[in-house]
Amino acid sequence: FIANYHAMTTVQDRALLEEQTLGVALDYLALGLDPKKAIFFRQSEVPEVAELAWVLSCVTAKGLLDRATSYKDKVQRGISASVGLYTYPMLMAADILIYRSHVVPVGEDQIQHIEMTRDMAQAFNKAYGEVFPVPKPRLDAGAKVPGLDGQKMSKSYGNTIEIFQEGKALRKRVMSIVTDSTPLEDPKDPGGCSVFALYQLVSSEGEQEALAQKYRGGGFGYGEAKLMLLEKINEMFGPFREERRRLEKDPGYVDSVLAQGGARARAEAQMTMKLVREACGLGKMPVPAAEPSTAR
């Protein structure tokens, strides 16, 4: 799903939030996400997730949220410490538990969120009975993608290479990748170079070996390696950029995909909240209110 509820912790501009939400949808669809095989939707189309986050907040110790490394990291980087940012892990847990997930694929930096989700599920089950499966993380082996500065690539760090960016803007980003000061004529170690690490993600094994030999042979500069990386990025993502431009001309299709996905996701969420409400003694799911009369 597109986490537009979560985005509100840093984006309080309606036009920008709508623009970014559409942008994420276009990116996923252009890259090949098939809405016939995956339920794709806006997080906000499932308001039950916010209700579940509140329920979980009532069985979760404050100390658990105090330990959230993502919150501490954002505060250290000067991001305003709103209540929404502080309770972010609660909504993440609700995102998982509302679909009664058993296994959650994650990266290493998300392990703590799954551990916190497990704690919340267990706390709820202890208080109200076995409603939620206690999810387990599935940590898939995957490449760690370095950013322009050598840190993990992340929008939070402002060190990304946007795959749908083109032309001079993309070239400027690629050419700004930080490298060491090894002289052009000296041999270089491909294993410690962010340019080479990124090249490995967009090239064949044969191309990688050929570039590694250039590094080790000396007389080869990082600027040339960056240009080779730029060429491979354009080669790999050119067709996806074309598809994105096509989808941009059909916003009705994109909106219908998200609306249909939202309806399917909400149906699942409502079944879970029926169980939660019964377990907590909150009564049945409320019937949608009638549209207010315009008569005066």
Distances (CA, A) of 138 to 61, 105, 128, 154: 26, 5, 27, 21
Domain layout of the chain by residue ranges = 4-144+252-280, 155-247
- The mean pLDDT value for 122-130 works out to 97
- Angle (nearest 5°) at CA 121 between 52 and 270: 35
pLDDT over threshold 70, residue 293: no
- Looking at domain 4-144+252-280, its CATH class is alpha beta
Cα gap 184→198, rounded to integer Å: 20
Assign a CATH topology to domain 155-247: Tyrosyl-Transfer RNA Synthetase (1.10.240)
pLDDT over threshold 90, residue 291: no
- The mean pLDDT value for 34-46 works out to 96
pLDDT interval class at 19 (50, 70, 90): very high
With CA atoms as reference, report the closest residue to 84 among 25, 12, 132: 12
Query: Given this chain, do its domains 4-144+252-280 and 155-247 carry the same CATH topology?
Result: no
φ and ψ at 14, to 5 degrees? -55, -50
Q: What is the pLDDT of residue 290?
A: 55
Tokens 């950013």 -> residue? 147
pLDDT interval class at 106 (50, 70, 90): confident
| Continuous H helices in the chain | 4-7, 14-30, 48-57, 62-66, 69-76, 83-86, 88-97, 111-128, 167-175, 194-201, 205-217, 222-248, 251-280
Tell me what percent of the residues of the chain surpass a pLDDT of 90.
76
φ and ψ at 193, to 5 degrees? -115, 125
pLDDT interval class at 32 (50, 70, 90): very high
pLDDT over threshold 60, residue 284: yes
With CA atoms as reference, report the closest residue to 275 among 135, 154, 100: 100
Question: CB-hemisphere CA count at 13 Å for 215?
Answer: 23
Quick one: DSSP state of residue 153? P
pLDDT interval class at 296 (50, 70, 90): very low
pLDDT interval class at 264 (50, 70, 90): very high
Tokens 């410690």 -> residue? 192
Q: What is the mean pLDDT of the chain?
A: 91
Q: What is the pLDDT of residue 144?
A: 75
Active site residues: 74, 152, 155
With CA atoms as reference, report the closest residue to 117 among 68, 158, 174, 180: 68
User: Of 286 and 41, which is predicted with more confidence?
Assistant: 41
- The mean pLDDT value for 105-109 works out to 82
**Predicted structure pTM score:** 0.84
Distances (CA, A) of 293 to 286, 289, 296: 20, 12, 8
